[in-house]
Amino acid sequence: MYKSEFTIRVRYSETDRMQYVYYGKYAEYFEVARVECLRSLGITYKELEEDGVLLPVRDYKIRFFKPGFYDDVIRIETIIPELPTAKILFTYKCYNSANELLNEAETTLVFVNAKTNKPCAAPSEVLEKLKKYFKVD
């Protein structure tokens, strides 16, 4: 398992009439969190794309418990719970500054060869950087 953390301050434009973080904004927060999670491993989307690998989202699930509000600092815990294959799973937990769990989510992304537009195995560079965080036989 690999875990990283990222914080973001809720901007006014990200809230709805009830002053809650608009539910759709969490997808954007998770995108930033997973990009930063990979970056903390020394992997960037830019380099993956330059190497001909794309990472579209296949699935996105979220469960809400409490709202986030304008000007809250939200801590997003991002976990890669398993070694990637042709797909990579990210799980997320968002906490407010009182350490209350706001929501839990997950996204599954698929490694896609940019030339063929077909799924492909996770790049060896990605696996090499993640292997030390997993028990590999």
Place of tokens 């060869």: 113
Return the pLDDT at 116: 97
- The Cα 116–Cα 35 span in angstroms is 24
Q: Which two tokens stand for residue 100?
A: 């209350």
Return the pLDDT at 137: 61
Mean pLDDT of 22-37: 97
Residue 76: which of 45, 126, 40 has the closest Cα?
40
Q: What is the signed CA dihedral for 38, 43, 48, 54, rounded to 10 degrees?
A: -10
Report the chain's mean pLDDT, rounded to a whole number: 96
pTM summary value: 0.93
Domain 2-131 adopts which CATH fold?
A: Thiol Ester Dehydrase; Chain A (3.10.129)
pLDDT (tens digit per residue) in 34-67: 999 999 999 999 999 999 999 999 999 999 999 9
